[in-house]
Amino acid sequence: MSQTMKANVFLGKNRIEIQNKIIPKPTYNQALVRVTLTTICGTDLHILKGEYPVQPGLTIGHEPVGVIEELGPGLVGYTRGERVLIGAITPCGQCEFCLSGKMSQCGGRLGGWKFGNSIDGCQAEYVLVPNAQANLAKIPDALSDEDVVLLADIASTGISASETANVQLGDIVAVFAQGPIGLCATAGARLKGASTIIGVESDPIRSEVAKKMGADYVIDPSKTDVVKEIMNITGGRGVDVAIEALGLQQTFENALRSVKPGGKLSSLGVYSGKLEIPLDAFGAGLADIQILTTLCPGGKERMRRLMELVAFRRLDLKPLLTHDFTLDEIGKAYDLFGNRKDGVLKVAIRPNPKG
């Protein structure tokens, strides 16, 4: 095996480059995984734009599927050559936050998100997995890489919006923005038993996909007053749960204004700059409205459960993979994905296209 690998490295604002890096050697409770499929996340775009700070020189990306290349000491139950899905969040499973059920916050605020944030990520030929005993999820033979790659982050994140808000059978849910995360949030609301799902999206292609993922209505914010239309649909009541999946002041406000008194706003968006809460929409703090936030749940048990949903045909995310690139073409992939060209939803990146 070569001693170096190709990796997509963040150099600074609006600057990424494929570079050669030394292939890392796994130590205790670490595993080296040969990446067979990954993708680009909206968070990667925030990093590239300088809206979320990471250190220059870091390999970015946090949605890996691959094959175990080498196991460090201390790991049991795994063998070289096994296919694995690794969540974007890689908790230790031992700290206060993990043992309190907040694995995404492992070790402290946002601490569970390590790939492409605090350690080298997976837009590379190989990735070193920390806390591997807690994070290597074996992929059933019946499932392809394409079946499971989006479970690593966007599906886990999107579905978590309804879980965090504890959506009840028969709830009315509005999902603001039907990008990849929002589409998974729509699917998650359906899985949790929402009776009516209202999508908010101006892109006609994404609007059609939203209906396939479970939306009963899709409102175009460029053509109508979203809050007024939601109130019309709900008979003036408002929604039980509004999910914000974009990270903009306007969508946050519209989501808040759409929630019934005593309802919940479940926020998934990554916000940059200042976020303000309008007092009237918040009932001056007296409307019994809850604002909830979630960082993508991770760990191997989360990945196993999501793969079960795919295996038993409760969830199909393959239609969201609309474009295919090699790692060498990742600059083109970022341009396409970042500028929403050619009806893109998610891009498949293949660091080892020959296997």
Instruction: Write out pLDDT tens, residues 298-336.
Output: 999 999 999 999 999 999 999 999 999 999 999 999 999
> Domain with 168 in it: what CATH number?
3.40.50.720
Q: For the range 307-316, what are the long-range contacts, defined as Cβ-Cβ under 8 Å and sequence gap of 24 or more?
A: 307/85, 307/137, 307/139, 307/140, 307/143, 307/148, 307/151, 309/191, 310/143, 310/147, 310/148, 310/151, 311/140, 311/142, 311/143, 314/191, 315/155, 315/187, 315/191
Residue at which a domain ends, from 293, 323, 340: 293
Sheet holding 172-176, edge to edge: 217-219, 196-200, 172-176, 239-244, 259-267, 290-293
Query: Based on the structure, what is the number of domains in the chain?
Result: 2
Q: How open is the CA angle 190-191-195, to the nearest 5 degrees? A: 35
Residue 68 included in any domain: yes
Residues 37 and 148 in one domain: yes
| Residue 274 pLDDT | 86
Q: Kindly tell me if the per-residue pLDDT of 174 is higher than 80.
A: yes
The single residue listed with the structure tokens 């067979």 is: 36
Instruction: Centre a 10 Å sphere on the Cβ of residue 54 and count the other Cβ atoms it contains.
Output: 17
Q: Of 249, 267, 293, which residue is a domain's last?
A: 293
Q: Would you say residue 90 lies in a domain?
A: yes
Can you give the pLDDT at residue 1?
65
Identify whether residues 128 and 164 lie together within a single domain.
Answer: no
Tokens of 22: 């030394």
Mean pLDDT of the 117-139 span? 98
Say what the pLDDT of residue 33 is.
Answer: 98
Same domain, 175 and 283: yes
27 with 164, same domain?
A: no
Same domain, 167 and 255: yes
Instruction: Give a yes or no: residue 355 inside a domain.
Output: no
Q: Are strands 346-350 and 137-138 parallel, antiparallel or unpaired?
A: unpaired
The whole-number average pLDDT for the span 183-198 is: 98
114 and 59, same structural domain? yes
Contacting residues for 7 by C-beta, under 8 A, at least 6 apart: 18, 19, 20, 21, 59, 120, 123, 124, 125
pLDDT of residue 21: 98
Rg (CA), the chain: 20
pLDDT digits (tens, 9 = 90+) for 228-270: 999 999 999 999 999 999 999 999 999 999 999 999 999 998 8
Domain of residue 130, CATH code: 3.90.180.10
* The residue to which tokens 């949790």 are assigned: 192
Same domain for 253 and 135: no
Per the domain annotation, does 146 fall within a domain?
yes
pLDDT value at position 271?
87
pLDDT of 8-46, one tens digit each?
Answer: 999 999 999 999 999 999 999 999 999 999 999 999 999
Query: DSSP 3-state helix, strand, coil percentages of the chain (rounded to 5)?
Result: 30, 25, 45
Task: Tell whether 317 and 242 lie within a shared domain.
Answer: no
Instruction: State residue 272's pLDDT score.
Output: 81
34 occurs within a structural domain: yes
pLDDT at 283: 86
172-176 and 137-138 strand pairing: unpaired
Mean pLDDT for the stretch of residues 63-88 = 98
The answer to whether residue 225 sits within a structural domain is yes
Phi, psi of 134 (to 5 degrees): -90, -5
Q: Are residues 281 and 167 in the same domain?
A: yes
HSE at residue 209, side-chain half, CA atoms within 13 A, is 26
Full residue range of the structural domain in which residue 227 is found? 158-293
Q: Kindly state the helix (H) or strand (E) to which residue 256 belongs, with its residue range.
A: helix 249-258
pLDDT at residue 212 tops 80:
yes
β-pair type (239-244, 172-176): parallel
The predicted model gives 218-228 an average pLDDT of 98
| Percentage of residues of the chain with pLDDT beyond 90 | 93
Of the listed ranges 95-104, 179-188, 271-280, the one predicted with least confidence: 271-280
Domain match, 148 and 175 both? no
Check residue 28 and give its pLDDT: 97
Report the pLDDT value the prediction gives residue 155, as an integer from 0 to 100: 97
CB 168 within 8 A of CB 128: no
Residue with tokens 């908790």: 91
d(CA 323, CA 332): 11
The last residue of one of the domains, among 250, 275, 293, is 293
Q: What percent of the chain has pLDDT over 70?
A: 99
pLDDT at 188: 98
Mean pLDDT, the chain, whole residue set: 96
Q: Are residues 119 and 69 in the same domain?
A: yes
Average pLDDT score over residue span 272-290: 88
Asked whether residue 210 is domain-assigned, the answer is yes
Nearest to 253 by CA among 215, 227, 283, 224: 227
Residue 218 belongs to a domain: yes
∠ CA 317-323-327 to the nearest 5 degrees?
A: 110
113 and 163 fall within a common domain: no
- Residues 192-204: what's their mean pLDDT? 98
